[in-house]
Structure 1
Amino acid sequence: MMLLLKNCEIYSPEYLGKKDILMSGGKILVVSEDLNKYAQLSEVTVLECDKQMAFPGFVDSHVHICGGGGEGGFKTRTPEIKMTDLTAAGVTTVVGCLGTDGMGRNMANLISKAKGLKEEGLSAYVYTGSYQVPVRTLTGDVVKDIMFIDEVIGVGEIAISDHRSSQPSKEILTKLVADARMGGLLAGKAGVAHMHLGSGKAMLDIINEIIRETELPRTQFHPTHVNQNPELFSCAVEYAKEGGYVDFTTSTTPQYIAEGEVKAAEALKICLEKGVSKRHITFSSDAQGSLPCFDENGEFEGLKIGRVSSLYESVREAIMELNVEIEDAIRVITENPANILQLKNKGRIEKGMDADIVLVDDRNYEIQTVISKGIIMCRDGAPVIGDMFE
């Protein structure tokens, strides 16, 4: 069967104008004006998309797909994500990671969940390793995991500058990043090191030292949560201006904002105004991760849970409230993470790419239809394909 989208305003993420999109076999076949000749074929399903904009399917590069949390005891372990949570939020490609609890959850859990999401119709990948070091892997070796497990595209999330991290030395961290790079080279994958940044005073220091003292390139690192306080954000802006990638977390709480966290939409606008390359900025949701609160002594006080819906909500905020150009706003959840993670068929609307499309209302930018690999997952803002147990 073929699916034909008629009269979309297409952002690829660059604006392509009003065109039609023909897809089949999970791929985009044609993007062109007036594909009416296909609409008459019996094997073609036609969707009229007048007054709708077409964006590439969203890529969320940091989701605790097996759940996260646990900082307040076993009852604070957060639940794993559902496929419909992702599709309703426009996410067609997800990258899973372990969080603070790398013992109660492990790489076998993570890879199994990713495989399950793939069977349900999404594209799913993972980082091998864990918050703590020595990192937990499936095969016992970072290079082997990246080389021989299809879903594994890098190492992470490794925690630094955080009171919950293992306080890894520069030598240990250098070896991990080098192994990830080697695994990526051998397997034709990104081999990125996805780094969790806490609110500690060291900030990005250890990453900058590794870059200065070794041959490892700045682009091998993908630091996240770098908008969690003004000092770290300022450091991240300079890091990005020097050619690094920065990832802003969209899930937040009123308390975090009150304590100085820079909202992701605002962080994007500031970065663009300060001359950061628009191709070096990404958003991720930290969905299903716990958002813990600690007192001044580091004692746990409570937590909330990250939401995958915050990913596109932050993009909408950037467009509608902060006047960021549509192309620049959607790039941070489409083309940019796809390029950084070397997901070669993701992030753009063009011939030969995976048929991952999000249709949004051209007035209020709300999600209307979500298509993953050419299959309609959501219509009129609601899932039409449910989870296995729904």
Structure 2
Amino acid sequence: MTVERLLPDQDARDLIALTREIADKELARRADEHERAETYPEGLFATLGAAGLLGLPYPEEYGGGGQPYEVYLQVIEELAARWAAVAVATSVHTLACFPVATQGTPEQRERWLPDMLAGRLVGGYSLSEPQAGSDPAALTCRADPADGGYRITGTKAWITHGGKADLYALFARTGEGRRGVSCFLAPGAADGLTFGRPEDKMGLHAVPTTSAHWDGAFLEADRLIGEEGQGLQIALSALDSGRLGIAACATGLAQAALDEAVAYAKERETFGKKIIDHQGLGFLLADMAAGVDSARATYLDAARRRDAGLPFGRQASVAKLVATDTAMKVTTDAVQVLGGYGYTRDFRVERYMREAKIMQIFEGTNQIQRLVISRHLAR
């Protein structure tokens, strides 16, 4: 089903139409093959970048699209409805651009942003560590001063696009405590940097997730983004926006599962009528549709607050929580609608269900989102 979107202007409507055309041509026809074979879609992100889809919320002066977040997120949702792994990687790339775009010097922005926003350089986000996932202040990877720069030593974990990205927003310790973390834009190819074997994941197979091992790799001083000690502030600010990207991914995935379930229910017959006409199943589909619409409304509310310059941290956590919990429920219910067929790999809904699970975990688990929301309420 094509979602009828309320968009702010004709430019946004044209952008969504372009996104749908590219998503149908480049994503929908390739997703099943690459997910089954667990192969990376070489060249696809360059295609998305050439179409202007990798820099939408960033300034036009650096090659971005200058689009409000409200529009950018709906593009992400359209991508996710065809191929969740690609949409997640696109959201992570946008997250990796954030430190340079918001805290970089004019020289750093000129040096890196145009190529990142055009997709000539793909970005990854390297914050988590084996013992510091939901608690980034506990990270131990170090950036020690060296002549003309820093030596990076330690292990990072759960890096989307690990080993494939050209640049990584890297967070490493330059001091003690919460004010002792700094942000760097690190090259993907550096002496002393190696990547672990891709994680054997439940879903999102086409884009690798790896660990990274830094063995005294040298980074020039001009790769420090912002001031020393500002890293945690940058990371948490970026994650507010990143959570909205994941909310949009989850909504697109849930929409795809709903569409598959409705299409099947219109064709399958039992007891002399189509199963969608049985009230028990029809009500289940109605609840699925209500959940998808609610998830979309929730992330759009947070995005509009962001676009208006209002505080949106709590709303971003609400959107991430609601949309990803909804995706898990809707994809599970889609498998139920298809019955035994839904449990086979001949139908996409079993993949959708596997892909939905991780969305409740990354960019801050949904338990962490509840903690964030409750702390906002306490204040």
Query: Normalized per residue, which structure has more helix?
Result: 2
Which structure is richer in relative contact order (CA contacts within 8 A, separation 6 or more)?
1
Higher fraction of strand: 1
Using structure 2 for the length normalisation, give the TM-score. 0.25
